[in-house]
Structure 1
Amino acid sequence: MEPVTDKSLADRVVDQLRDAIQNGAYAPGDRLVERRLAAELGVSHIPVREALTRLAEEGLVERLPRRGSRVAAIDAKELDDLSSLRVVLEQYVVERAMQNWTAEADATLRAIVAEMEEAAEAGDTSRLFDLDVRFHEQLWALTDHAMLVDLVAQLRGRISLFLRAATVALEPQALKAHAASHAALVDAIAGGDRPTAREAMAAHIQVAAERIEAGLPAPADGDG
């Protein structure tokens, strides 16, 4: 067994903190105290500090001068910036996926959609969200483009905690519509209909952005 290096320890701390933030264990604006996190994770403060720095680079954490760190919040302008960029990149994902489409890929994605429909029917929002993540990861894998996958994963990761909260708040009928939108994406890609597939992906991202924006706090007076 290989010894654990400082680098691999920091990587594990990054993964654990990222998962905790994206899964809602820490809410936007929550303070992230190095000593407390180090105690919870059973490590020294050094890998925790490195992890917070790296998560700040990903946009999940804000580093505050002389005040430590907190989970990043998001405003309507940043959401619009992120979502518009996601549309461009995810539409390219669709095109790459179409080029590499196979019967196996079709079956895998349709199986995930079927599970999403079951979760929506049962009102299991947490499972539905996790399946949504798995759906997109499978779609990204079809691109065979590592840099593209890194970019789209980072953008989605930036809004993941807000997207989870928005999904949990959906009404039963909206949950079913959310699952159905993924089925429509698969149909468009499998059918080789490039314009329809691009349009379906753009609409999919726009609906997600609207759900997130509906849950954002109203801007304070004077914020424009």
Structure 2
Amino acid sequence: MDALHPPSLVELVMQRVRADILAGALAPGERLIEEQLTARFGISRAPLREALRLLGQQGLVEHLPRRGVRVAELSAADVDELFGLRDVLERYAVEIALPGPVVLADLASALESMDAAARAGDLLAENDAHHRFHLAVVSLSGHRQLLLAYEPVILKLQLHMAANLRLEAAALSAPEEGVARHRRLFEAIASGDPVLALAGLVSHGARTYAG
């Protein structure tokens, strides 16, 4: 029978490693050494391995046979394919949701969090809010199977998006520009017009910036 571990401990370790990955403290391709991580967190191997297993499900780490665990790496082709999938799934979600009554509370909340994080210069929080924003777009469809298909795609893109947010922050004099693009997309969806919403998806900058 598998040993049980305190969910809070596994969750805490998972959050800490995830934060290091998305903040760039752990680089793509970098090996995660169990001995170092257990010493750092003061835990045994079992909860660490469970946390790494869950991070693997999120697409942030890769388990390599006989070579341990490393931070996930996405090739340019991987990223292009994932963005293509994301575009198709989001377009389908909008086509299902509009025209029709939709609840925009989650979308608005994610946008507000993205705005606050950008103003504070908190790239990790901005990435999390960006993730929630795109999940909220797909959730508007009310289509459970579509959301299940979409979640692993957006999770695998988080690492790429985090890196792009850092590049964007360094390149732009106004860190709120990324928020402005998503605000325009929000307004297009809020209009209830599927033509405007689909045009908003195309123009909000999926490939140029963090998406």
Superposition TM-score, scaled by structure 2 size = 0.75
Once the two structures are aligned, what percentage of the paired residues are identical?
34
Q: 1:125 touches 1:167 (CA, 8 Å); kept in 2?
A: no
Q: How far, CA to CA, are the matches of 1:208 and 1:34 in structure 2? A: 36
Q: Which of 121, 131, 134 lines up with 1:133 in the alignment?
A: 131
Q: 2:60 touches 2:156 (CA, 8 Å); kept in 1?
A: yes
Once the 2 structures are TM-superposed, how far is the Cα of residue 198 of structure 1 from its aligned partner?
2.1
Residue correspondence of structure 1 range 83-98 to structure 2 within 5 A: 83-98=83-98
Q: How far, CA to CA, are the matches of 1:130 and 1:162 in structure 2? A: 13
RMSD: 3.3
Q: 1:129 touches 1:167 (CA, 8 Å); kept in 2?
A: yes
Q: 1:97 touches 1:189 (CA, 8 Å); kept in 2?
A: no
Once the 2 structures are TM-superposed, how far is the Cα of residue 164 of structure 1 from its aligned partner?
1.6
Q: Does the C-alpha gap of structure 1 residues 7 and 172 become closer, same or farther in structure 2, counting only changes over 3 Å?
A: same
Aligned to 2:78: 78
Residue correspondence of structure 1 range 1-20 to structure 2 within 5 A: 5-6=4-5, 8=7, 12=11, 13-20=13-20
Identify unmatched segments of 5+ residues in structure 1.
Answer: 213-224
Bigger fraction of residues in helix: 1
Q: 1:32 touches 1:68 (CA, 8 Å); kept in 2?
A: yes
Q: How many pairs align?
A: 203
The reply to whether residue 169 of structure 1 matches residue 167 of structure 2 is: yes
Deviates more, 1:85-94 or 1:170-179: 170-179
Superposition TM-score, scaled by structure 1 size = 0.71
Residue correspondence of structure 1 range 72-221 to structure 2 within 5 A: 72-98=72-98, 99-102=100-103, 105=104, 109-110=107-108, 113=111, 116-117=114-115, 122=119, 124=121, 126=123, 127-170=125-168, 171-172=171-172, 175-204=175-204, 207-211=205-209
Q: How far, CA to CA, are the matches of 1:137 and 1:36 in structure 2? A: 34
Q: Does the C-alpha gap of structure 1 residues 17 and 115 become closer, same or farther in structure 2, counting only changes over 3 Å?
A: closer
Q: Does the C-alpha gap of structure 1 residues 142 and 10 become closer, same or farther in structure 2, counting only changes over 3 Å?
A: farther
Q: How far, CA to CA, are the matches of 2:18 and 2:209 in structure 1? A: 22
Identify unmatched segments of 5+ residues in structure 2.
Answer: none
Partner secondary structure for residue 5 of structure 1: coil
Q: 2:59 touches 2:156 (CA, 8 Å); kept in 1?
A: yes
